Amino acid sequence: MRPLAEMPKDALRQIDFIFCDIDETLTNNGRLRARAYAALEAAASAGLCLVPVTGRPAGWCDLIVRQWPVAAVIGENGAFSFRHDPQGGLIRDYWQADAVRRENSERLRAIAHAICAKVPGAAIAADQSYRDADFAIDYAEDIAALPPARVAEIIAAFQAAGANAQMSSAHVNAWFGDYDKLATSRRLLARAFGLDFNAVQPRLAYLGDAPNDAPMFEAFANSIGVANVRRFVARLPLPPAYVTVGEGGEGFAEFVALLLAARS
Ligand SMILES: [Mg+2]
């Protein structure tokens, strides 16, 4: 990882889509602070397309796409994207058909409850009832943080049951299906903007902090970790190209300031 300050101005100038994780990338200790929200607004006002890409539930994403200055949102680690329909209302683009999603959700519920009964301290995430597709087990949000070995046990148990499992800064998320944050980002770019992900690489940037950002760090040429990514770097197959000085939303604001300065 190179310091963000070393990112070439020419590369910054070409970026017009910012994809970013939310938890501990836009937030600090769970809070969206003024500096990070101001950076979102400044980027949107400058004509940049913002797309938060999160493990958070559909219920949160409905609010985010309606209330924040963003072009779209991808939630539940790629289970869907939400965006505004020019005809009015929202376009909710789910990766899986409703019946498949509901069936998978029921299978995951049984697996997750069995895991919580087996792994001491693990609990169903408090935002589970707002989810449409995946299942989340809390390891550090509303409970005392579990040691890494317990988190690894939760991930292994989901995988043994045939599910995908990945950790964010607070939850282990599990899902059935051949999607992730990256697959749905590619689909959103194609369907909403008519763009091919590979062809427009220089126009894209991604910011994240945790192992569930790994597919994005690998695929985006302009990949940036906020400073707190360092605590997960050993768990990443490929670290981001650049790293900010500030943690969470401070790091995000640092990137936006650099980008806007390069454009002016
Ligand atoms: Mg995160």
Ligand 1 centroid to 86 CA: how many Å? 30
Share of the chain above pLDDT 90, in %: 97
Q: Span 123-143, mean pLDDT?
A: 95
CA of 259 to the centre of ligand 1 (A): 21
- What distance in angstroms lies between residue 146's CA and the mean position of ligand 1's atoms? 17
| Average pLDDT of span 80-105 | 96
Mean pLDDT of the region 41-51: 98
Q: Residue 24 C-alpha to ligand 1 middle, in angstroms?
A: 5
Ligand 1 center–CA 244 separation, angstroms: 15
Measured in Å, residue 209 CA sits from the centre of ligand 1 at: 5
pLDDT value of position 156: 97
Residue-wise pLDDT for 178-227, tens only, equals 999 999 999 999 999 999 999 999 999 999 999 989 999 999 999 999 99
pLDDT of residue 188: 98
- What pLDDT is recorded for position 123? 95
Measured in Å, residue 23 CA sits from the centre of ligand 1 at 4
Q: Which residues surround ligand 1, an ion (CB under 5 A)?
A: 21, 23-24, 168-169, 209-210
Residues 6+ apart with CB under 8 A from 223: 205, 206, 208, 216, 217, 240, 241, 242
| Residues 6+ positions from 156 with CB-CB distance below 8 Å | none
Query: What pTM was computed for the model?
Result: 0.95
Pairwise CA distance, residues 7 & 206, whole Å: 13
End-to-end CA distance of the chain: 26
